[in-house]
């Protein structure tokens, strides 16, 4: 009888010690592993805008019997081109490169030298044709561009991002409703990015002889959004 009482007492002591130390909280552990349902969708936002700025390059290539003569003649020709660009309203005129190289024949002999000088310039998109005509009339024999862009490119992209979020929410609402759930809060957003794409739809109205068609540019943005589900 005494041995039985001692065994019961020892058992009670063990239980008390276990309570003091702390047993694992099985319910809490189960809650910690519970994950919230979510849905991830892609959204795209686009908008159209007519570009208002043009960037171009103008060059002069001159050939003469000697390198010194080629450089001197090229410098005179380029001064005329630069003055013509300024008078036509060009902005941010800057030299891109200057080069001089020999002209050789089949035997490797030097038959003269070529000197080149190229400048870049920016104008309003509507004045691009005027600049091209003015530069070529002044002696430019190398023209590239125009590269059309918008001064408000960053603002347009931010607006496209907002539309991308709205598009993602609409997609997520459709999927949530189809699965019998309700859409919760946004948990994560990942920006994708995009770049303006030219769409030639509108011709420029200009009296210049060189036709320039700025058209419209499509600015788009893409994102990936994760929503919680209720």
Whole-model pTM: value is 0.62
CATH code at 196? 3.30.110.170
- Looking at the fold, whether 136 and 156 belong to one and the same domain comes out as no
Task: Say how many C-beta atoms besides its own lie within 10 A of residue 112's C-beta.
Answer: 15
| Per-residue model confidence as pLDDT tens digits over 79-130 | 999 999 999 999 999 999 999 999 998 888 899 999 999 999 999 988 899 9
**What average pLDDT does the segment 19-25 reach?**
47
Higher-pLDDT residue of 151, 225: 225
DSSP 8-state class, residue 15: H
Average pLDDT, the chain: 82
Q: CB within 8 A of 161, min separation 6: which ones?
A: 45, 191, 221, 223
- Looking at the fold, whether 144 and 183 belong to one and the same domain comes out as no
Do residues 128 and 169 touch, judged by C-beta distance below 8 A?
Answer: no
Do residues 50 and 123 touch, judged by C-beta distance below 8 A?
Answer: no
Do residues 220 and 42 touch, judged by C-beta distance below 8 A?
Answer: no
- Report how far residue 109's alpha carbon sits from residue 65's, in angstroms, rounded to the nearest whole number: 13
| pLDDT of amino acid 80 | 97
Quote the domain boundaries for residue 141.
53-149
**What average pLDDT does the segment 150-179 reach?**
92
At 35, the pLDDT band (50, 70, 90 cuts) reads low
Residue that terminates a domain, selected from 106, 126, 149: 149
CATH code at 60? 3.30.70.2970
Residue 65 has pLDDT above 60, yes or no: yes
């Amino acid at each position: 009888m005494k041995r039985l009482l001692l065994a019961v007492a020892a058992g009670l002591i063990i239980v008390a010690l276990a309570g003091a130390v702390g047993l694992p909280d099985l319910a809490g552990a189960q809650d910690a592993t519970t994950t919230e349902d979510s849905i991830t969708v892609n959204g795209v936002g686009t908008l159209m805008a007519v570009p208002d700025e043009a960037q171009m390059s103008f060059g002069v290539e001159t050939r003469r019997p000697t390198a010194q003569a080629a450089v001197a003649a090229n410098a005179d020709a380029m001064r005329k081109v630069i003055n013509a660009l300024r008078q036509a309203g060009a902005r941010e005129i800057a030299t891109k490169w200057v080069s001089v190289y020999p002209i050789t024949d089949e035997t490797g002999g030097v038959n003269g030298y070529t000197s080149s000088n190229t400048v870049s310039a920016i104008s309003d998109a509507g004045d691009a044709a005027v600049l091209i005509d003015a530069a070529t009339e002044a002696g430019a024999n190398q023209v590239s561009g125009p590269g059309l862009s918008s001064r408000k490119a960053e603002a347009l992209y931010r607006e496209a991002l907002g539309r991308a979020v709205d598009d993602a929410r609409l997609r997520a609402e459709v999927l949530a409703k189809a699965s019998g759930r309700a859409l919760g809060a946004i948990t994560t957003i990942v920006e994708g990015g995009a770049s303006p794409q030219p769409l030639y739809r509108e011709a420029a109205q200009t009296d210049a002889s060189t036709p320039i068609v700025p058209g419209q540019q499509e600015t788009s943005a893409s994102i990936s959004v994760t929503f919680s589900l209720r």
